[in-house]
Amino acid sequence: MHTRTVFFISDGTGITAETFGNAVLAQFEMKPRHVRLPFTDTVDKAHQAVRQINHTAELEGVRPIVFTTLANMEVLEVIETGCKGMLLDMFGTFVRPLEIELAVKSNHRIGRFSDVSKSKEYDARIAAIDFSLAHDDGQSNRDLEGADVILVGVSRSGKTPTSLYLAMQHGLKAANYPLIPEDFERKQLPPALMPHRKKIFGLTIQPERLSQIRNERRPDSRYASLENCRNEVSEAEAMMRRAGIRWLSTTTKSIEEIATTILQELKPERLVY
Amino acid sequence: MHTRTVFFISDGTGITAETFGNAVLAQFEMKPRHVRLPFTDTVDKAHQAVRQINHTAELEGVRPIVFTTLANMEVLEVIETGCKGMLLDMFGTFVRPLEIELAVKSNHRIGRFSDVSKSKEYDARIAAIDFSLAHDDGQSNRDLEGADVILVGVSRSGKTPTSLYLAMQHGLKAANYPLIPEDFERKQLPPALMPHRKKIFGLTIQPERLSQIRNERRPDSRYASLENCRNEVSEAEAMMRRAGIRWLSTTTKSIEEIATTILQELKPERLVY
């Protein structure tokens, strides 16, 4: 099979073009070469993009696939007119029918982000990242009332990446607490968390997978041994069951899937999408 | 104007549906109500979704807008047949022309993530998050050879969120170092960074905006005073110019825009998109 190149052209960051383009391409068994052309916001840059696409078409002998999210009509026109790729105009395809449905013209605003220094929503997102970092791994019990979510689980069950993702993508203040031998002996959740039970969500993981992850960090340690992992996981699950908190297994799940499940369950009010 | 509800239906997390749907909706001056229906992966759940959409249509007196990213054809069919919303089938619209272009059938794979416990790419992403956390705010000089990017800048110029974003979304190992008075006195970048100059990227920010951000943290402190911010920023910019490193101003930019610009400039090889 020929090499195929996929271009993602945007007048903003190109993240939307690429997220969506990748989801569409995941429907096919192919590993195309990716070229992202962000900030393509002038007619000059559009002509450059056209030259690059057409050059690739010649070299590879097949036309490249070109995903665009362009709000600037002049830029789009240059690409529509000159480009020898297969053009998939993601905005035009859906914006035009929506203009009819909503009976208004689109504003051709470029990108999802306008000047962030004037955005309260953006400030909240940065504050959520600060909070989640300060409350990573049980570092601080201060201001837990301010938390939207508190994750608990054994070491390396996925708490830290999930907390940071919830903060970064959803503007949620996410604290996380490790469950450790002292908790298992007391057979109770960490005492500082008790007043906030409604916000707690547990993460668990298969002992075999946990042992594999821990072995990458500390090979052949007791910490990583399958026996120890089995023991910690079974203690942690028993505790979560007793405490009556919601929990899920992260074994085969991505950060995005874990976060989406938590959001569905906890439905926190302050949700920035 | 009536309230409008927008539904995002997916058999996976729904993140792609929502990212793309939001970008399309940003082209219109409207603040619709958002309902995300992730993991809609059975005919039963599809019928539930249809009931919810049609109920909303009745209540609001206008048809809801329904973005779908559904790989499961049975689920899609239930929604196409029963739903009284305006259906925007994001996969079908682009997958069908691609099937013709590529001369293969799509595989109807659900979601971007298959079993992550078997994915090397996913492991690399988690390792990048670990690395970036361990190298946040100049915490560690260890293993800087392993870094893909090293960000420098004054306190609160945007280094930490950008590092975490680069790790989480692009699987890049991103260290970050604060520029502090000792560095300004020595008039040189932190010595530990000198061997890695090619990987360094500077962040700067307008003193007025910096003072505003710092005042939220430590109101009326010398640290947050406009005079001190002006001084730090001018020292930092002079140092970056002398060192000949690339840099940008974060004043009005989102994390995504900063990260995209850095990627364009540094073009690190190990790039997970």
Chain A residues within an 8 Å CB radius of B26: 109, 112
| Low pLDDT (below 70) residues in chain A | 1-2, 111-114, 268-273
Which residues is A35 bridged to in the sheet?
A: A7
Return residues 36-65 of B near A (CB < 8 Å): 36, 38-39, 65
Nearest CA-CA partner of A158 in B168, B159, B112: B168
Nearest to A26 among B90, B112, B169 (CB): B112
Residue B97 to residue A86, Cβ atoms within 8 A = yes
Which residues is A69 bridged to in the sheet?
A: A10
Are B212 and B150 found together in one domain?
yes
Do the domain assignments include residue B130?
Answer: yes
Q: What is the Cα–Cα distance from A160 to A175, expressed in whole angstroms? A: 9
Which pLDDT score is estimated for A112? 66
Which pLDDT score is estimated for B121? 86
Nearest CA-CA partner of A18 in A74, A82, A90: A90
Residue B260 to residue A30, Cβ atoms within 8 A = no
Query: Annotated binding residues of B, as ranges?
Result: 153-160
Strands (E), A83-173: 86-89, 149-153
What range defines the domain where residue B29 resides?
A: 5-102
Residue B256 to residue A117, Cβ atoms within 8 A = no
Residue A104 to residue B29, Cβ atoms within 8 A = yes
Are A206 and A233 found together in one domain?
yes
Are B136 and B260 found together in one domain?
yes
Chain A residues within an 8 Å CB radius of B86: 97, 101
Do the domain assignments include residue B180?
Answer: yes
Do the domain assignments include residue A261?
Answer: yes
Mean pLDDT, 10 residues at a time, chain B of 273 residues: 84 90 88 91 97 96 95 95 95 92 85 75 92 94 93 97 96 95 91 93 97 94 97 96 95 94 78 45
Q: What is the Cα–Cα distance from B184 to B239, expressed in whole angstroms? A: 8
Are B54 and B120 found together in one domain?
no
Chain A residues within an 8 Å CB radius of B102: 4, 28, 30
For residues A265, A268, A269 and B2, what is the CA-based torsion angle, rounded to 10 degrees?
-30
> What's the CATH number where B122 sits?
3.40.50
To the nearest whole Å, the CA of B135 is away from the closest chain A CA by: 13
Are B186 and B235 a contacting pair, CB within 8 Å? no
Do the domain assignments include residue A272?
Answer: no
Chain A residues within an 8 Å CB radius of B260: 13-15, 38-39
Q: What is the Cα–Cα distance from A205 to A159, expressed in whole angstroms? A: 11
Of A67, A102, A137, the one marking the end of a domain is A102
To the nearest whole Å, the CA of B106 is away from the closest chain A CA by: 5
Are A93 and A160 found together in one domain?
no
Which pLDDT score is estimated for B269? 55
Chain B residues within an 8 Å CB radius of A269: none
Of B76, B102, B128, the one marking the end of a domain is B102
Residue B19 to residue A22, Cβ atoms within 8 A = no
Return residues 194-233 of B near A (CB < 8 Å): 209, 216
Strands (E), A92-208: 149-153, 174-178, 200-204
Are B13 and B75 found together in one domain?
yes
Judging by beta carbons within 10 Å of its beta carbon (0-12, 13-18, 19+), is residue A191 exposed, middle or buried? exposed
Are B146 and B174 found together in one domain?
yes
